[in-house]
Amino acid sequence: MPELDYIRLRAALALFDQPVSALTPEQIERAERQALREYDIETCILQAPEAAGIVIGEEQVDSAVAEIRGRFADSAAFSAALAHSRLSEHNLRLGLARQCRVNTVLERVVPEVDAAAISDVEIGLYYHSHFEHFRQPERREAYHILITINDSYRENTRAQALERMRGLAARLAQKPKTFTQLAGKHSECPTALSGGRIGWVRRGQLHSELDEVLFGMRAGQFSGVIESAMGLHLLWCAGIRHPETISLKKATPYIRKLLQDRLQEQRRRAWIAALSEPAG
């Protein structure tokens, strides 16, 4: 089942935000169980009568691969990330083709929920029931480059890792616009797939060493080398959002889409559950 390689990676990223190669034996076991469950569910979907006749063309798979490849500076960085994730490009294509077919079946069975199905009353109830979600604290858009420390590998001893990171910091000082390219090529974190982007974070979401530095930076600033339990990091504070309370009017499109997606997911889950029920 070569498609499982991609599903294992997907499960590892979803559960631990790490590739399979970076997991502990216990985490690998948990990711494997999750991957097998997902594989069984997908198999059930693909064996349903509604899946008959659905064929995923090579151009659709090419597009999915290109979307992932486009997150990297070049083909070498893309290949390095696949190797780090223990995934061949062939098995990536198989996994993406399977995922595209599953998604197409689900779209056929349960099409997108009409916006009119969500009332203003439902939106208002959600807003006031989750008001704390719309009170946004200060957030920073964070990117990082990670090099792990592992004395089993010469290039990842602490001294070598530190030398590599200082070299990257020097290159950024000369060409600051190359951060995402360097992250895609050198970072040992799954965020390398998206140019090192961690995303918008609040205080307390990152390791304390990173958190302290990030929330002392200016927008657009790069950090020096930071050490955490994960390894050595270079941080980029790409943007700052100051605290705010989002109004109901401003939140309405977001809430409507969230409730649409939730209703659609409920209907899909009900359809999938019915697949495994014995025939009456």
pLDDT digits (tens), the chain, 280 positions: 778 888 888 888 888 877 777 788 899 999 999 999 999 999 999 999 999 999 899 999 999 888 878 867 778 877 877 887 778 888 889 999 999 999 999 999 988 889 889 999 999 999 999 999 899 899 999 999 999 998 888 888 999 999 999 999 999 999 999 999 999 999 999 889 889 999 999 999 999 999 999 999 999 999 999 999 889 999 999 999 999 999 999 999 999 999 999 999 999 999 999 887 765 5
Whole-angstrom CA distances from 170 to 156, 164, 176, 187, 231 are: 19, 10, 10, 16, 19
Are residue 77 and residue 169 in the same domain, yes or no? no
37 touches 11 (CB < 8 A): no
Are residue 100 and residue 164 in the same domain, yes or no? no
Angle, alpha carbons 99-104-105 (nearest 5°): 100
Domain count, the chain: 2
125 touches 80 (CB < 8 A): no
Range of the domain at 61: 3-109
32 touches 40 (CB < 8 A): no
Are residue 52 and residue 98 in the same domain, yes or no? yes
DSSP code per residue over 111-149: PPPPGGGS-HHHHHHHHHHTGGGGEE--EEEEEEEEE--
Q: Which two tokens stand for residue 189?
A: 């974190």
- pLDDT given at position 278: 60
- pLDDT given at position 279: 55
As a whole number of angstroms, the distance between CA 218 and CA 203 comes to 15
As a whole number of angstroms, the distance between CA 139 and CA 86 comes to 34
Are residue 208 and residue 153 in the same domain, yes or no? yes
Q: What is the CATH number of the domain that holds 211?
A: 3.10.50.40
- pLDDT given at position 177: 92
Whole-angstrom CA distances from 6 to 55, 109, 159, 229, 279 are: 20, 25, 34, 27, 33
Are residue 100 and residue 147 in the same domain, yes or no? no
Are residue 93 and residue 180 in the same domain, yes or no? no
13 within some domain: yes
pTM, rounded to two decimals: 0.57
Phi, psi of 241 (to 5 degrees): -115, 125
261 within some domain: no
277 within some domain: no
Are residue 11 and residue 101 in the same domain, yes or no? yes
The CA radius of gyration of the chain, in Å to the nearest whole number, is 22
- Please tell me whether residue 202 adopts helix, strand or coil conformation: strand
Are residue 29 and residue 88 in the same domain, yes or no? yes
